[in-house]
Structure 1
Amino acid sequence: MRLRPGSHVLWRREGTSQVHADPELAVVLDGLSVEEQRLLEGLGRETSESAVLARGRELGIRAPRVRELLTRLEACGALERDRDPAVGHHGLGAELDHWSRVAQRDARDVLTRRQEAVVAVLGLDRLGLLLASGLAAAGVGTLLTEDRARVRREDVGLGGYTLRDVGEQRGDRARGILRLTYPHVRTSAPPRTRPDLVVLVDHGVSDPVRLRPLVREDVTHLLVVVREVDVLVGPLVTPGGGPCGRCVELHRTDADDRWPALATQLLGAPDRGVEATSALLAAGTAVGEVLAHLDGRPVATSGTSLAVDARRPVPRTRQWPVHPECGCTGLAVVPGGAQPAPA
């Protein structure tokens, strides 16, 4: 038993202590005796419940009152009664502590869900590998990576490619880097394993050839598109439950009837490097959306794209309604259907 790393019991005044410093998490304990405050302040050292009870007796605090105080600390995620040694071995202690404070309870179930999850990342430039590394560091158990393109000089750094990797196949090197850096991560799965989510990293425009089978097989997927000066993260597509990638393209065609010709040319264009700040911002945004989906928390990219731009610290949003001519949700065609919200 110990005070959870990163959590605090702070003295406010005589008789009042505060659990957590963050105003959104803070819990104020009133009506404490001087001895009770001393007991709480000593919980930063790892110990056992029996030792805490013994310390309470030394200070003249009855056992039921000690247990009451411990229960209050546990209820706001500040107290850890035990820890699986594997959590520390895999470098996931900060994840457990953070989400326990957020949830105000022990969040081992969050890590368990992540460890059981299967996420595929298709497209492994520096942004894609950085994204996959972020998911591994957050505790995702199985990462399936695919990219047959070669590592370029512009891919080196950030995600983990080195100069020695230049010219090697991205998918092979990405798997090696993930296994070396995160030994707990599995980079393969039995045949016909169904991913919980697929992330598609494309340049210029999403590849419809990769999108169709995901919609057909009802696989949730997140679109990430590197454009000339920004990166679009989203929408996160839940087939049948909102707009899909084809909806986005149909809306673009409504706005510009020559978009299909432009998109075809973009599909055939070679990938280019991703500017460092854009890669960091986009990878972080995408990792957050994937984890929110796996954890069962609300996502920001449901029917929405977030435009991440190195020139602006806050993403711009663009909403995409289901396009009436797509048919991905079974909606009937409505003349003059809904138009996307302006960027």
Structure 2
Amino acid sequence: MHPTLKPALRRGWRDLSTVQFGVAPAHALVLGPMDTATSSFLTLLDGTRGLPLLHEEARRMGLPDGHVDRLVGELSRAGLLDDSTGGGPAADGLRGRSGVMDRLRADLASLSLSSSEPGEAIGKLAARRAMRVRVQGAGRVGALVAAILAGAGVGRVDVLDGGHVEPWDVAPGGLPAESIGERRDAAARRLVRGSAPDRPPRAAPPKRSAATDRPGGTGPDAEGEAGLSLVIIAPRDGLHAYAPDAGAAEELLAAGTPHLYAGVIEGTGVVGPLVLPGATACAGCLFRRRSDHDPTWPRMLAQWRSGRARHVPACDLALSTSVAGLVAGHALAFLDGAPSACTDARWEASVPNFAWHARPVRAHPACPCGAAAHIKGDRLTTDTDPHATMAG
């Protein structure tokens, strides 16, 4: 282990014996009392020295035996310490690619703030390189989401969409003006390649199964479901994000593939829900809950979905950029293993005030996705066994 104080946290002295790590309350910590020799020793925790060398330096500074181990332990438990050599073989491989690491260094610093164990942050960053995400939709939201995910180190980002790039699809960070008239999928793939810090690692060939051997290859592998870490559904028509078609997600539910909805409908941005098949509310639950509260909803939705739109849909540039940033953030948090505020919830904001608020999306008992039964089972277990939640 080569201990290093997390560089993302600014350090300052509140008084002669108390040090504060971090500025913003979300991650700031105060440690003390701390003597002058220990405060000087902190400058040696820069990741260039292993513990044996740190012990030698401590003896030269007159620090008592065991002081280094106690200090390193306290800093580690406080979540203030990282390991410049930790993270495992995949992290070592990433460190060996200096150009890639330079592109991802700011992301690594941010990840360290939500990682408690030394070496955990670069382990998560390296794990992203082996992940595969599919973005369905290459409009102002979807294209930018794909670019952000690729730029943040996700190894493979696929984009699906039809048609050709229209002038109103263009957005800073998304599809450029030069792509107008090109196929959307081709333009989006080029955007992803240009945003990624390097080429993704070579993927292992998919395992064959009875499903993929069927004529026409209609199994999960043929459709691209197998091996997907997440699907982001960001249709150019925001109605399909605000009121998603449950039938369109049946293959994702059947394959157990997590999927997250996002888009802009008129002047409202929508992020969520994040669907964990069989565990959290899905598009079918959303439809059934809305229909329970508003019996005219199915009739209205059928009218809105029918026919061909004769106008350019409203999609405020600032709002679509905000949606893309928020959905990419929630997607990366999910991929990194953090709890998501988008499960069983949908975040909405409207122009002109851009105030984000969450609306609950609860599992519906009549929905065949089974999430309501899963939640009921969890609650029953918790109610009958107070130690059930401690099992993990």
TM-score range, shorter chain: 0.7 to 0.9
Q: Which of 190, 209, 230 is matched with 1:197 structurally?
A: 230
Give the residue type in structure 2 aligned to 1:113.
A
Q: Is the aligned partner of 1:299 residue 2:368?
A: no
Q: How many residues align?
A: 331
Equivalent of residue 328 in structure 2, options 276, 280, 287: 287
Q: Which moved more, 1:9-18 or 1:295-304?
A: 9-18
> Would the aligned equivalents of 2:18 and 2:31 in 1 still touch at CA under 8 Å?
yes
- The answer to which of 254-263 and 282-291 deviates more is 254-263
Whether the 8 Å CA contact 2:349–2:356 is kept in 1: the answer is yes
5 Å-filtered alignment, 1:80-229, equals: 80-83=82-85, 84=92, 85-86=95-96, 89-90=99-100, 91-106=103-118, 107-184=121-198, 186=200, 192=221, 193-202=226-235, 203-206=237-240, 208=245, 210-229=248-267
The amino acid of 1:214's aligned partner reads L
> Are the structure 2 counterparts of residues 291 and 136 from structure 1 closer, same or farther at C-alpha, using a change threshold of 3 Å?
same
SS in 2 for 1:312: coil
**Contact 1:137–1:182 under 8 Å retained in 2:** yes
Write the distance in 2 (CA, Å) between the matches of 1:187 and 1:45. 30
- How far residue 39 of structure 1 moved from its aligned partner, in angstroms, is 2.4
Structure 1 residues 283 and 34 mapped into 2: Cα distance closer, same or farther (>3 Å)? same
Q: Deviations over 1:172-206 (max 9, x none)?
A: 11111211221435499656133121111121422
- Which one of 312, 315, 319 corresponds to residue 278 of structure 1? 319
Structure 1 residues 17-26 or 216-225, which shifts more? 17-26
Deviation, structure 1 residue 166: 0.7
- Secondary structure class of the residue paired with 2:9: coil
* Per-residue deviation, 1:9: 3.7
Going from structure 1 to structure 2, the CA distance change for 1:219 and 1:75 (only over 3 Å counts) comes to: same
CA distance in 2, matches of 1:313, 1:204: 17
Report the CA distance shift for 1:72/1:20 in structure 2 as closer, same or farther (over 3 A). Answer: farther
Q: Deviations over 1:94-140 (max 9, x none)?
A: 22222222333332332233222221100011211111122223332
- Picking from 268, 283, 288, the partner of 1:245 is 283
Q: In the TM superposition, what whole-angstrom CA distance separates every residue of 1:256-277 from its partner, at most 9, and x where no partner exists?
A: 2522332323776676363111
Larger mean Cα displacement after TM superposition, 194-203 or 132-141: 132-141
Q: Which runs of 5+ in 2 are unaligned?
A: 86-91, 207-220, 374-392
Distance 1:298 1:267 in 2: 39
Equivalent-residue separation in structure 2 for 1:5 and 1:88 (angstroms): 18
CA distance in 1: counterparts of 2:61 and 2:40, whole angstroms: 9
1:47 pairs with 2:48: yes
The 3 A distance-change label for structure 1 pair 18 and 260 is closer
How many percent of aligned residue pairs carry the same amino acid? 28
Please state how far the C-alpha of 1:250 moved relative to its aligned partner: 3.6
Q: Which moved more, 1:201-210 or 1:303-312?
A: 201-210
Aligned residue for 1:296, secondary structure, equals coil
> How far off its partner does 1:88 sit?
5.4
Q: 1:235 to 1:99 in 2, by over 3 A?
A: same
The one-letter code of the counterpart of 2:230 is: L
Match of residue 33 from structure 1: 35
Judging changes above 3 Å, is the alpha-carbon distance between structure 1 residues 57 and 321 closer, same or farther for their aligned structure 2 residues? closer
SS of match in other structure, 2:30: strand
> Which of 345, 348, 359 lines up with 1:318 in the alignment?
359
Matched residue of 2:356: which SS?
A: strand
Distance 1:251 1:188 in 2: 43
| 3-state SS of paired residue (2:181) | coil
Task: Pick closer, same or farther for the CA change 1:305–1:44 going to 2, 3 Å.
Answer: same
More deviation, 140-149/205-214 = 205-214
Q: Which residue does 1:16 correspond to in 2? A: 18
Specify which of 288, 302, 309 is matched with residue 261 of structure 1: 302
Question: Shift of residue 228 of structure 1?
Answer: 0.6
Q: TM-score, normalised by structure 1?
A: 0.83
CA distance in 2, matches of 1:267, 1:251: 27
Q: CA deviation at 1:291?
A: 2.1
Q: Is the 8 A contact 1:11 1:17 kept in 2?
A: yes
Alpha-carbon distance change, 272 to 324 in structure 1, aligned in 2, over 3 angstroms: same
Distance 1:331 1:16 in 2: 50
Secondary structure in structure 2 of the residue aligned to 1:132:
helix
Give per-residue Cα distances to partners, 1:279-319, cap 9 Å, x unaligned: 12111221122123222322222222211223233313322
Q: CA RMSD in A?
A: 3.1
Looking at structure 2, the residues matched to 3 and 231 of structure 1 have their Cα atoms a distance apart, in angstroms, of 39
1:92 & 1:266 partners in 2: Cα distance? Answer: 45
Could you tell which deviates more after superposition, 302-311 or 15-24? 15-24
What is the rounded CA distance, in whole Å, between the counterparts of 2:153 and 2:200 in structure 1?
11
